[in-house]
Structure 1
Amino acid sequence: MRCVALLILGVHLAYAARHSLQYFYTGVSGDINFPEFTSVGLVDSGQFYYFDSNQMKAVPKTEWIRENEGADYWNRETENMINAHQVFKNNIQVAKERFNQSSGVHTFQFMYGCELEDDGTTRGDLQYSYDGDDFISFKKDTLDWTAANPQAVITKKKWDADRADSEYQKTYLEKECIEWLKKYVSYGKNTLERKVEPEVSLLQKDKSPVICHATGFYPSNIMMTWKKNNQDHNEDVDVSSTLPNADGTFQKSISLSVKSEEWKKNPDVYRCVIQHVAAEKEIVVPLNENNIRSNTGAVNIIAIVVGCVVMLAVLAAIIGLVVWKKSKGYKRTGTQDSDSENSDQPLPKA
């Protein structure tokens, strides 16, 4: 699976206020030393909930959810995820048969959730993927499904025929998901509505690209660009995924493939520009010898940054925190933490 974007739910300005609730389910088949099924829940891109088929228990990942939900909540979630695990085992086998595959490592992912803007605007989405590619997605406005490839057409026809379930999915995405999101935000208000300005460094080792690295910021939405002569510069620029730090903040990098000889002859021509809600104004870091950390001092720094990015990206890919190759989305199922009257609805089988 190619890691292209982490937890991206649409394009937002860095200063836009919003909250999001997302769930990522991942089933794995084949010879791999990792749980056969994992479920991860996130509020505002921060993990608060986790389940895997090795420990067979849903557990809290933040103090605010631990302090506000008791044993009934976690017992219900554990039961729901055990049921979801069985459905995923079925669905990944069905997908393998449709793609005529009998061996190898394969993944089946399920992503769903909703967003709430500060102006009251809401969004909700739902998608499935197989082996990192789109498989099928739900269109709540038309109450039907979109098959991304011929192998998903059978599933589309089956699910399109279940109008009641489509109505339920739409209701969840537009109402129930938002209600749970508001509840979770109220639980973790002090944490989820804090604002922390990013720390920014320019890094370069020998002839490698210049890395503009922002870290320690919260919330996760941030805008990072390179400018040349005060104009947006997109050539030979690579933007990384936004990744979580251990302390609950985030990090992100944007690299520029420019030779040291070029920027040293023309200092301050290139600038890394960062916009974030916690910063009173744009953070601008000119590319010059005074600002860049290179050679001996940066060898370890760059190794750590790149190493953390690779490690987190691999971990995210395995446990289902990545958005797959071509899409960005997420979904609701009856196995979600919802009202008890809805929580026993099974996941649909492909």
Structure 2
Amino acid sequence: MGFVELLMVCAILPICCLAGQGAPERHSLYYVYTALSKAVNAPGIFEFTAMGLLDNRKIDYYNSKDQVKIPQQDWMKEKLPADYWEKGTQSRKSKEQWFKVNVNILMERMRQNGSDVHVLMWKHGCEVDKMADGSVRFVRGVDAYSYDGKDFLSFDDNSMQWVAPVTEAVPTKQKWDGVPILNQYTKGYLEKECVDWLEKFRTYGDEELKQQVNVSPPKVHLFGKADRSSNTLKLTCMATGFYQKEIEITILKGKEVIKKGDIGDVLPNGDGTHQIKLNVEAQRSDMDDYRCEVYHIGLEEPITKVWTLDGEMCDGTSAFLIGAVLGGLAVLILIVLILVFIAFKKKA
């Protein structure tokens, strides 16, 4: 699998939400930790990194070189006291040591030697819906580990048990499930503590986040890709550059709704904004009958665009691929780069 294909895999990972005017606002808080089995000679890639992500925006960061947890948003630095960052730094250092030990354990369990680089990743956090009346509803919690890019172990919030999709993870599952109080703590963190922190961070950054919504409405682009063997066109409507994820995008033929996008199709760009795109197939002779409508809080009025034969057409390598790459999940790009680097080293 090549670099672009790996990015595409990341880009299509869903973010599960519901959409529509008046629908709840979906918000998330995740922490992602990544550890390598040994150092690699590549710029920007460290043996251990940790980052916090609020609605896919990086809010804090730590790496094994600098060994300091630092804010990534001005409002995080302004609102949180110095001891928060000091305690956070000590916590990250402890986790860095934990990861080093456990990467070695997994390598032994997998019967791997130290010639190759291996990657252990942990993602944990929560998602909530903010209702129209201001109340918050817990949607789901995630506490999951992957090893070399494959699922290794995850926490089932309902049963309060760990799920082991591979044989090598069973010993860890049995050990952790054998301490029920730890599983109760994990459930409590996901459903209560994580939600409290999410709401606190959202409150701290509320003014800036609102400004971002106001100054960054979606930009809408239409594309058409011709099928060389027929008169069929692949029509794409893409909205990008917006902060607030709640958006309605619809492709119509005349008055008939052909396809409608929801928040589950929204992907983050690398700069904190988002993008969404819809694809439909159409006959070339009917293309002028198709239009795309976009509704978003950042727009003074909805955007409607119509495909025309003199629009942006692609007859070979699709421009959609470029859009998808640019909109790939920012948190996973580092992992992709690491895996590509590892694959390259194995071939060398």
Q: How would you bin the TM-score normalised by the shorter chain?
A: 0.7 to 0.9
SS of 1:219 mapped into structure 2: coil
Moved more, 181-190 or 2-11: 2-11
Alignment of 1:57-96 (within 5 A): 57-96=68-107
Q: Which residue of 1 aligns with 2:312?
A: 293
Moved more, 266-275 or 106-115: 266-275
Partner Cα separation in structure 2 for residue 315 and residue 189 of structure 1? 22
1:198 is the counterpart of 2:218 = yes
Q: Is the 8 A contact 2:130 2:137 kept in 1?
A: yes
Q: 1:96 corresponds to which letter in structure 2?
A: M
Residue 112 of structure 1: how far off its partner (Å): 1.2
Question: How many aligned residue pairs are there?
Answer: 307
Partner Cα separation in structure 2 for residue 116 and residue 315 of structure 1? 20
Q: 1:28 corresponds to which letter in structure 2?
A: L
Residue 310 of structure 1: how far off its partner (Å): 3.1
Q: Which residue of 2 aligns with 1:251?
A: 275
Partner Cα separation in structure 1 for residue 112 and residue 265 of structure 2? 32
Partner Cα separation in structure 1 for residue 67 and residue 327 of structure 2? 23
Q: 1:293 corresponds to which letter in structure 2?
A: E
Cα shift readout 1:233-256 (whole Å, capped 9, x = no counterpart): 59xxxx98712353x322344455
Identify if the C-alpha distance between structure 1 residues 279 and 150 changes in structure 2 by more than 3 Å, giving closer, same or farther. farther
Q: 2:61 corresponds to which letter in structure 1?
A: Y
Identify if the C-alpha distance between structure 1 residues 224 and 146 changes in structure 2 by more than 3 Å, giving closer, same or farther. farther
Residue 276 of structure 1: how far off its partner (Å): 3.8
TM-score w.r.t. length of structure 1: 0.74
Match 1:135 to one of 123, 134, 152: 152
Q: Is the 8 A contact 1:65 1:188 kept in 2?
A: yes
Cα shift readout 1:3-28 (whole Å, capped 9, x = no counterpart): 33578552321543132211111123
Q: 2:244 corresponds to which letter in structure 1?
A: P
1:10 is the counterpart of 2:25 = no
Residue 209 of structure 1: how far off its partner (Å): 5.7
Identify if the C-alpha distance between structure 1 residues 282 and 75 changes in structure 2 by more than 3 Å, giving closer, same or farther. same
Residue 307 of structure 1: how far off its partner (Å): 5.1
Match 2:332 to one of 302, 317, 322: 317
Q: Which residue of 2 aligns with 1:42?
A: 53
Partner Cα separation in structure 1 for residue 120 and residue 328 of structure 2? 18
Identify if the C-alpha distance between structure 1 residues 53 and 318 changes in structure 2 by more than 3 Å, giving closer, same or farther. farther
Partner Cα separation in structure 1 for residue 265 and residue 125 of structure 2? 23
Q: Is the 8 A contact 2:36 2:119 kept in 1?
A: yes
After superposition, the CA RMSD in angstroms is 3.5
Q: Is the 8 A contact 1:127 1:138 kept in 2?
A: yes
Q: 1:151 corresponds to which letter in structure 2?
A: E
Match 1:121 to one of 128, 133, 137: 137
Alignment of 1:125-204 (within 5 A): 125-193=142-210, 195-196=213-214, 197-203=217-223
Q: Which residue of 1 aligns with 2:124?
A: 112
Identify if the C-alpha distance between structure 1 residues 35 and 169 changes in structure 2 by more than 3 Å, giving closer, same or farther. same
Identify if the C-alpha distance between structure 1 residues 279 and 12 changes in structure 2 by more than 3 Å, giving closer, same or farther. farther
Cα shift readout 1:100-136 (whole Å, capped 9, x = no counterpart): 3334343211111122322331132211112222211
Identify if the C-alpha distance between structure 1 residues 147 and 282 changes in structure 2 by more than 3 Å, giving closer, same or farther. farther
SS of 1:266 mapped into structure 2: helix
Q: Flag as ranges the 4+ runs of structure 1 deviating above 6 A.
A: 205-208
Residue 165 of structure 1: how far off its partner (Å): 0.9
Q: Which residue of 2 aligns with 1:332?
A: none
Partner Cα separation in structure 2 for residue 162 and residue 6 of structure 1? 36
Residue 269 of structure 1: how far off its partner (Å): 4.0
Q: Is the 8 A contact 2:127 2:138 kept in 1?
A: yes
Identify if the C-alpha distance between structure 1 residues 40 and 18 changes in structure 2 by more than 3 Å, giving closer, same or farther. same
Partner Cα separation in structure 2 for residue 32 and residue 204 of structure 1? 42
Partner Cα separation in structure 1 for residue 29 and residue 331 of structure 2? 17
Q: Which residue of 2 aligns with 1:232?
A: 258
Q: Is the 8 A contact 1:4 1:241 kept in 2?
A: no
Moved more, 279-288 or 183-192: 279-288
SS of 1:136 mapped into structure 2: strand
Which stretches in structure 2 are left out of the alignment for 5+ residues?
Answer: 1-5, 228-232, 338-348
